């Protein structure tokens, strides 16, 4: 068990000796405050700084202190943040080799695999050995088991694992090996291995499961841990019952933790959520653990979420006593009630005084549990604000009936929406369709929340509501002429003509997709008109509506319509592809000459060399991936330029092994390119929850 007084002393030393490049003034103050609270016996805190204030850096300092004191840490986080955390941990320990987040039960069992676990031919054994070695080099699997890792990152979704019965599918075989093996080992028995019970390819996971069972059983015996999960008959357990029993055993397999960090602590608050299960049965904590939650948005919907998040950090999911937090409810509710009154009542001295009192009580109630800084605590922001004023200007863009694209049909729809807002809102569908039309994400009463293009005739509304909803009848493609979307297009193109970039935030996917496609369609028509290249050999079916809408602009109209545009694209693409092949061949020859210098040039030439009539790594994909790093995007590539950008990329992808070989670098490069989703357009780019992580990082750095 870690000595928390020693941890506090290490934190004080980190805060006192770190330069400003590692921890700024505000971060040092937070680290010092954590040390004070730890000395006072507090074993949980919620770090609720605003976005961009360096919460991860503060948490990494705490992890470094716990590691130096001989403790172990678990970081529970959205899996996509793993790389960021690795970088932050490395700032405090250059030798840090923390693995990427553990995402699944398969990954957990894979941590117990050996090189010799595969069955079959020598080729299959060799393939398994290479696969396992590659995953370890990629820092996905441990070298010596999970319990030997000082720090383990666990995905929020890790506990969403499934354990189907054998009758529900072939995966039910090896996935149900762990629990019965642990039970038999605890009883001093062994479970027979029946090869015919498992499908081809499962045997390796069976061996790994039994190896994990031996480790877990020995841990239970050594630490005299509860055995409730292994009592009784496991053979006929349902999938959910099996999962509930196996989760604590997985926790024992991961090892005991002194510190639990919960990134994005406000997410998935339900008791049955994966995150709650991780903080409950999956986390095997020491007798005196510390939990640190991190969130920039502790409240998303209502004030009760303060209580919910704090209860989670104080061990609610692990059956800890949290009655002391009940007193917070009164102060939080009182503050919220006064705020609501301020929003609706006339402001006077009495109400102002009540607000000041409730705000002080609210802050006092949360202060023992929460650490929060906003941008006012950021010295760089303060200097910027003193010199330039506020960091943003909010300017409304008026969309009036006189604006371009504001047709009579849209005027009728908006008038109908205004009329509906004055009627009693007995039917929630009426409110929904009114907002859908106003905000540009649909027209009718369809089931899809965002995309409901059907007419109003199916709504069966009568009276005034029925009369006004008839005005909403529209075709689905009419959204491309929504006045707000057209106004956004004009504003965005005005900025881009001036050489500026534009970042657009939206609440709904449908209007954002429409805006993206319309911007791309207009840019495509401009380039065709001006004889410039557009990287497509035709119009995709999903983009036809956007192209038709874009051609309503007289400056962009094409006499032959979509068919003529398709023909122009095909002709120009053939010409471009021929020139492209010639350029790639020239570039390949330059790289072959540079390869004589050795080093990265030889490595690049090797991975681009043709094997069996095809390239081992797509040349074009690598060029596309490196293209965003160029200083002059439109210039012809040179071998020297590509090599320079490639060397920088290798440094970013470099691991911790000084003796890294080409195979390791190649594996990392392959993974990086596989995660690169490519271009969805050449003018506007859409980023949503479905965007690949590499593309997300590229867009965020643009």
Sequential DSSP letters for 373-410: --GGG-HHHHHHHHHH-SS---------TTSTT--HHH
pLDDT computed for residue 472 by the predictor: 63
Band (374; pLDDT cuts 50, 70, 90):
confident
Q: Looking at the predicted structure, is the pLDDT value of residue 67 above 80?
A: yes
d(CA 616, CA 57): 39
66's tokens: 């716990």
**Above 60 in pLDDT, residue 350?**
yes
3-state class of 292 per DSSP?
strand
- Res. 446: pLDDT tops 50: no
Q: Where are the domains of the chain?
A: 4-324, 395-502, 584-701
| Polymer length of the chain | 702
Average pLDDT score, the chain: 79
Distance of alpha carbon 304 from alpha carbon 660, whole angstroms: 51
User: 590 or 305, which is more confident?
Assistant: 590
Position 90 pLDDT exceeds 90: yes
Mean pLDDT on 405-414: 76
The residue that leads in pLDDT, 392 or 8, is: 8
Contact call for residues 391 and 71 (beta carbons, < 8 A): no
Burial string for 151-160 (b: 16+ CB within 10 Å, else e) reads bbbbbbbbbe
Q: What confidence category does residue 167 fall into, taking pLDDT thresholds of 50, 70 and 90?
A: low
**What single string gives the DSSP state of each residue in 304-329?**
HHHHHHHHHHTTGGGT---GGGGHHH
Whether residue 197 has pLDDT greater than 80? no
> Quick one: average pLDDT of 140-150?
94
Dihedral sign for Cα atoms in the order 614, 616, 621, 627:
negative
Residue 293 backbone phi and psi in degrees, to 5 = -95, 150
Candidate CATH numbers 3.40.50.720, 3.40.50.2300, 3.40.50.410, 3.40.50.300; the one for domain 4-324: 3.40.50.300
Q: Is the pLDDT of residue 526 over 80?
A: yes
Q: Give φ, ψ of 492 to 5 degrees.
A: -65, -45
pLDDT class for 211, splitting at 50, 70, 90?
very high
**Which segments of 113-226 are extended strands (E)?**
151-155
CA dist 58 and 35 (Å) reads: 12
What value does the mean pLDDT take over residues 86-108? 93
pLDDT of residue 617: 46
Lowest mean pLDDT among 95-104, 280-289, 411-420: 411-420
Check: CB of residue 557 under 8 Å from CB of residue 543. Answer: no
DSSP 3-state of 294: strand
Q: How far apart are CA 247 and CA 263, in angstroms?
A: 21
pLDDT at 382: 78
pLDDT tens readout for residues 573-590: 888 778 878 887 888 888
Per-residue pLDDT, 448: 41
The pair phi, psi for residue 98, each rounded to 5°, is -60, 135
Indicate the pLDDT class of residue 169, thresholds 50, 70 and 90.
Answer: very low
Quote the CA–CA distance of 290 and 286 in Å, as a whole number.
9
Model-level pTM? 0.61
Residue 469 confidence (pLDDT) above 70: no
536 vs 210, residue with greater confidence: 210
Higher pLDDT, 10 or 434: 10
The pLDDT of residue 298 is: 64
In the three-class reduction of DSSP (H, G, I as helix; E, B as strand; rest coil), residue 1 is classed as: coil
Residue 609: closest CA among 623, 597, 595, 621: 595
The mean per-residue pLDDT over the stretch 138-165 comes to 89
Average pLDDT (614-625) is 61
Helices (H), 138-258: 178-186, 203-223, 239-254
Band of residue 101 on the pLDDT scale cut at 50, 70, 90 = very high
Q: In this predicted model, which residue has the larger pLDDT, 416 or 99?
A: 99
């Amino acid at each position: 068990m870690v000595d928390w007084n020693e941890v506090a002393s290490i934190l004080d030393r980190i805060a006192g000796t770190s330069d400003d490049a590692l921890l700024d003034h505000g971060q040092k103050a937070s680290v010092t405050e954590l040390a004070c609270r730890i000395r006072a016996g507090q074993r949980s805190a919620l770090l609720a700084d605003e976005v961009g204030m360096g919460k991860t850096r503060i948490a990494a300092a705490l992890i470094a202190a716990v590691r130096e004191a001989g403790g172990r840490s678990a970081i529970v986080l959205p899996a996509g943040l793993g790389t960021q955390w690795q970088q932050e941990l490395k700032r405090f320990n250059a030798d840090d080799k923390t693995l990427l987040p553990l995402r699944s039960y398969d990954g957990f069992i894979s941590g117990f695999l050996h090189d010799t676990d595969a069955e079959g031919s020598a080729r299959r054994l060799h393939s398994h050995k290479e696969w396992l070695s590659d995953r370890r080099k990629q820092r996905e699997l441990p070298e010596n088991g999970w319990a030997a890792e000082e720090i383990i990152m666990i995905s929020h979704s890790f506990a969403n694992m499934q354990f189907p019965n054998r009758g529900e599918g072939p995966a039910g075989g090896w996935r149900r090996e762990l629990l019965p093996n642990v039970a038999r080992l605890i009883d001093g028995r062994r479970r027979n291995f029946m090869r015919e019970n498992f499908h081809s390819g499962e045997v390796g996971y069976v061996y790994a499961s039994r190896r994990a069972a031996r480790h877990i059983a020995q841990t239970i015996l050594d630490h005299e841990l509860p055995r409730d999960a292994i009592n009784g008959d496991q053979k006929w357990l349902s999938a959910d019952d099996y999962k509930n029993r196996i989760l604590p055993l997985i926790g024992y397999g991961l090892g005991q933790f002194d510190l639990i960090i919960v990134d994005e602590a406000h997410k998935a608050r339900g008791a049955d959520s994966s995150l709650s299960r991780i903080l409950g049965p999956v986390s095997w904590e020491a007798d005196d653990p510390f939990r640190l939650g991190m969130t920039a948005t502790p409240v998303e919907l209502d004030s009760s979420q303060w209580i919910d998040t704090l209860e989670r950090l104080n061990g609610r999911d692990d059956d800890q006593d949290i009655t002391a937090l009940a007193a917070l409810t009164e102060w939080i509710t009182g503050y919220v009630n006064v705020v609501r009154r301020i929003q609706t009542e006339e402001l006077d001295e009495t109400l102002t005084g009540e607000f000041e009192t409730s705000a002080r009580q609210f802050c006092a109630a949360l202060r023992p549990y929460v650490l929060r800084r906003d941008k006012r605590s950021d010295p760089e922001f303060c200097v910027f604000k003193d010199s330039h004023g506020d960091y943003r200007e909010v300017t409304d863009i008026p969309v009036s009936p006189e604006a371009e694209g504001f047709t009579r049909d849209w005027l009728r729809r908006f008038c109908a929406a205004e009329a509906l807002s004055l009627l009693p809102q007995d039917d929630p569908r009426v409110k929904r369709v009114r907002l859908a039309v106003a905000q540009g994400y649909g027209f009718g009463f369809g089931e899809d929340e965002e995309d409901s293009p059907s007419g109003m005739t199916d709504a069966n509304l009568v009276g005034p509501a029925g009369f006004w909803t008839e005005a909403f009848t529209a075709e689905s493609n009419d959204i491309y002429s929504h006045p707000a979307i057209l106004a956004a297009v004009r504003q965005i193109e005005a900025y881009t003509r001036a050489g500026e970039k534009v970042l657009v935030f939206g609440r709904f996917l449908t209007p954002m997709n429409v805006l993206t496609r319309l911007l791309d369609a207009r840019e495509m028509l401009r380039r065709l008109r001006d004889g410039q290249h557009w990287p497509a050999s035709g119009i995709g079916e999903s983009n036809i509506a956007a192209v038709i809408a874009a051609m309503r602009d007289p400056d962009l109209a094409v006499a032959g319509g979509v068919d003529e545009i398709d023909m122009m694209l095909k002709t120009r693409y053939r010409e471009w592809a021929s020139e492209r092949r010639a350029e790639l061949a020239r570039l390949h020859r330059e790289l072959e000459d540079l390869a004589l210098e050795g080093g990265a040039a030889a490595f690049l030439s090797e991975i681009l060399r043709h094997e069996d009539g095809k390239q081992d790594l797509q040349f074009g994909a690598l060029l596309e991936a490196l293209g965003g790093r160029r200083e002059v995007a439109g210039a012809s590539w040179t071998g020297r330029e590509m090599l320079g950008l490639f060397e920088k990329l290798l440094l970013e992808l470099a691991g911790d092994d000084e003796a890294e070989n080409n195979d390791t670098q190649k594996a990392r490069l392959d993974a990086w390119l596989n995660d690169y989703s490519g271009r969805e357009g050449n003018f506007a780019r859409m980023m949503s929850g479905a965007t690949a992580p590499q593309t997300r990082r590229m867009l965020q750095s643009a």
